């Protein structure tokens, strides 16, 4: 979506009939390159923050409320400041905003009456983390320059989503929205909550292809996967009480003992343990500019999600299987929570046009839909827009 941040001030005033000059904040979406569902198992993930972002314009108001308008949903919602502490989710987009306000208050940061105008470029339900972008953009807007440690900001966004909205997510999306860095991917250690920036080879483009399948199954299946991983941990703890999460399980140990884990949790664990290793391997391959190894890891990760974690779907498998046949494509895999959304593709720069044409035509023939493509350039994390 073409969006000019400067125009938001006019839209804000027009919508709220306000003479205030709002301040503007942004937080990016993300595309995860590898390490899927490993975050809540305290492993590694490897996302990049995107230029596509959620923007929040904010100005003080005298109506005693937190009032928010979403230009994308064309809807307004409001909550009395006095009711923030006791508010509950209403299964609306505004839950992300009110959840963040509640968590900020709990953290000792009072919220004053204000108007918020929200515009997002991150397509919802596409696996590019539109919710975390909204949470973190809201949080930085409501903080308005008050000091808040960055890692705590990511954790606060995650709490808003898991405790208020009710989606038991890991930390990756909010962390990427906070710590994103132009020119580099983020290798995040979801146990220590530290990260390193890894520059990606310049002779490859990262292209996301949107299947346009929305992950409706998302929350219930996500919850199920979280529980199945816990079952795997319980079985493995019988063998080694030091194991607290799947992060603690080495691949060779798992291979030796996997028969003592019931079948479904065993397959889930195999995905998590191997994908955590693939993050380490992908970061190393990126550092030595080994594009064919990066591509191989992408495809291995996809197969692991497809067969062991069982979070792919026919449309996504078709996009991956078709992409990897196209000359100049090093690898492809699904990105994000699963059951639809986007694939992420590693493509030689000179092959990008052909890749898009070929993939769009094949998807159209098979599913009568044209995938949307996004050029993914690593961008900065959340902050004020000057
Ligand atoms: C969603 C969650 C993340 C992560 C991914 C899968 O985006 O919000 O925490 O678990 O799915 O990798």
pLDDT digits 0-9 by tens, 272-330: 999 999 999 999 999 999 999 999 999 999 999 999 999 999 999 999 999 999 999 99
Q: Which atom of ligand 1 is nearest to the CA of 38?
A: 12
Query: Does the active-site annotation cover 173?
Result: yes
For the sheet with 65-70, list strands across it: 75-80, 65-70, 114-120, 47-60, 23-32, 383-384
| 37 CA from centroid of ligand 1 (Å) | 6
**Strand bridging mode 184-189 / 114-120:** unpaired
* Half-sphere exposure of residue 91: CA atoms within 13 angstroms, side-chain side: 1
User: What pLDDT score was predicted for residue 386?
Assistant: 86
Report the pLDDT value the prediction gives residue 123, as an integer from 0 to 100.
94
CA of 38 to the centre of ligand 1 (A): 8
CB atoms within 10 A of CB 4: 6
CB atoms within 10 A of CB 149: 9
Q: Using CA atoms of 241, 242, 245, 248 in order, give the dihedral in degrees to the nearest 10.
A: -130
pLDDT for the residue numbered 102: 98
DSSP 272-308: HHHHHHHHHHHHHHHHTT-HHHHHHHHHHHHHIIIII
The C-alpha atoms of residue 359 and residue 208 are separated, in whole angstroms, by: 12
Q: Whose CA is nearest to atom 9 of ligand 1?
A: 170
Ligand 1 binding pocket mutation candidate from 29, 37, 279 (most atoms within 8 A of CB): 37
Q: Identify the sign of the CA torsion 359, 364, 367, 373.
A: positive
Q: What percent of the chain has pLDDT over 70?
A: 99
Residues with C-beta less than 6 Å from any ligand 1 atom:
32, 36-37, 39-40, 129, 169-170, 172-173, 336-337
Nearest CA to ligand 1 atom 10: 37
Out of 38, 39, 178, 344, mutate this one to test ligand 1's pocket (max ligand atoms within 8 Å of CB): namely 39
Q: How confident is the model at residue 3 (pLDDT cuts 50, 70, 90)?
A: low
172 CA to centre of ligand 1 in angstroms: 6
What torsion, rounded to 10 degrees, do the Cα atoms 183, 130, 155, 242 define? -90
User: What is the position in ligand 1's atom list of the atom closest to the CA of 127?
Assistant: 7
Of 95, 115, 173, 275, the catalytic one is: 173
245-263 pLDDT, tens digit per residue, is: 999 999 999 999 999 999 9
Span from the CA of 75 to the centroid of ligand 1 (angstroms): 27
Burial of 242 (0-12, 13-18, 19+ CB in 10 A): exposed
pTM exceeds 0.95, yes or no: yes
Nearest CA to ligand 1 atom 8: 169
Residue pair 209/358 in contact by the 8 Å Cβ criterion: no
pLDDT at 2: 54
The C-alpha atoms of residue 122 and residue 157 are separated, in whole angstroms, by: 17
170 CA: nearest ligand 1 atom? 9
Report the alpha-carbon angle 190-129-232, nearest 5.
45
Q: What per-residue confidence (pLDDT) applies to 150?
A: 98
**Closest C-alpha residue for ligand 1 atom 1:** 337
Alpha carbon of 169 to ligand 1 centroid (Å): 6
Q: What is the mean pLDDT of the chain?
A: 96
Q: pLDDT, tens digit, for every residue of 126-149?
A: 999 999 999 999 999 999 999 999
The residue-averaged pLDDT of 325-352 equals 97
Question: 48-90: per-residue pLDDT in tens?
Answer: 999 999 999 999 999 999 999 999 999 999 999 999 999 999 9
Find the 170 Cα to ligand 1 centroid distance in Å.
Answer: 6
Question: 46, 47, 336, 341: which to mutate for ligand 1, most atoms within 8 A of CB?
Answer: 336
| Sheet strands side by side (includes 329-335) | 329-335, 342-347, 205-210, 372-375
* Partners of 31 in beta bridges: 48
How far apart CA 330 and CA 20 sit, in angstroms, is 50
The pLDDT tens digits of the residues spanning 145-187 come to: 999 999 999 999 999 999 999 999 999 999 999 999 999 999 9
Cα 62 to ligand 1 centre (Å)? 38
Asked if pLDDT for residue 228 goes beyond 80, the answer is yes
pLDDT at 242 over 60: yes
Nearest CA to 65 out of 30, 116, 137, 29 is that of: 116
Please give the helix or strand (H or E) that residue 365 lies within, else none. Answer: helix 352-367
Distance, in Å, from the CA atom of 361 to the CA atom of 344, rounded to the nearest integer, reads 18
* Token pair listed for 174: 């909010």
Q: What pairing do the DSSP bridges indicate for beta strands 114-120 and 65-70? A: parallel
């Amino acid at each position: 979506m073409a969006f000019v941040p400067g125009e938001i001030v006019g839209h804000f005033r027009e919508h709220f009939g306000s003479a205030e000059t709002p301040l503007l904040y942004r937080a990016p979406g993300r595309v995860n390159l590898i390490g899927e569902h490993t975050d809540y198992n305290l492993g590694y993930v490897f996302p990049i923050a995107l230029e596509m972002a959620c923007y929040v314009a904010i100005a003080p108001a005298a109506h005693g409320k937190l009032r928010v308008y979403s230009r994308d949903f064309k809807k307004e919602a409001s909550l009395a400041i006095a009711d923030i502490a006791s508010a509950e989710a209403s299964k609306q987009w505004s839950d992300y905003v009110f959840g963040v306000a509640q968590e900020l208050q709990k953290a000792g940061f009072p919220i004053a009456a204000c108007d918020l105008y929200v515009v997002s470029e991150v397509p919802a339900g596409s696996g590019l983390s539109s919710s975390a972008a909204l949470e973190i953009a809201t949080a930085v807007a409501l903080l308005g320059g008050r000091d808040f440690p960055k890692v705590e900001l990511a954790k606060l966004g995650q709490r808003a989503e898991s405790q208020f909205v009710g989606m038991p997510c890991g930390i990756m999306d909010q962390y990427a929205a906070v710590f994103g860095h132009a020119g580099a991917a983020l290798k995040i250690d979801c146990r220590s909550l530290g990260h390193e920036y890894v520059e990606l080879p310049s002779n490859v483009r990262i292209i996301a292809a949107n299947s346009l399948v929305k992950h409706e199954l998302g929350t219930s299946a996500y919850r199920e996967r979280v529980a199945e991983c816990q079952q795997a941990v319980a079985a493995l703890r019988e063998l080694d009480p030091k194991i607290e999460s799947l992060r603690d399980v080495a691949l060779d140990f798992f291979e030796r003992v996997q028969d003592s884990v019931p079948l479904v949790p065993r397959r889930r664990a195999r995905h998590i343990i191997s994908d955590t290793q693939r993050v380490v391997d992908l970061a190393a391959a990126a550092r030595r500019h080994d594009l064919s190894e990066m591509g191989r890891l992408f495809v291995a990760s996809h197969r692991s999600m497809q067969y062991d974690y069982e979070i792919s779907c026919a449309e996504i498998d078709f996009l991956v299987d078709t992409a990897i046949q196209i000359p100049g494509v090093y690898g492809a895999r699904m990105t994000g929570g699963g059951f639809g959304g986007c694939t992420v593709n590693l493509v030689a720069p000179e092959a990008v046009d052909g890749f898009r044409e070929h993939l769009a035509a094949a998807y159209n023939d098979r599913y009568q839909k044209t995938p949307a493509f996004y050029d993914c350039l690593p961008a900065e994390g959340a902050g004020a827009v000057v």
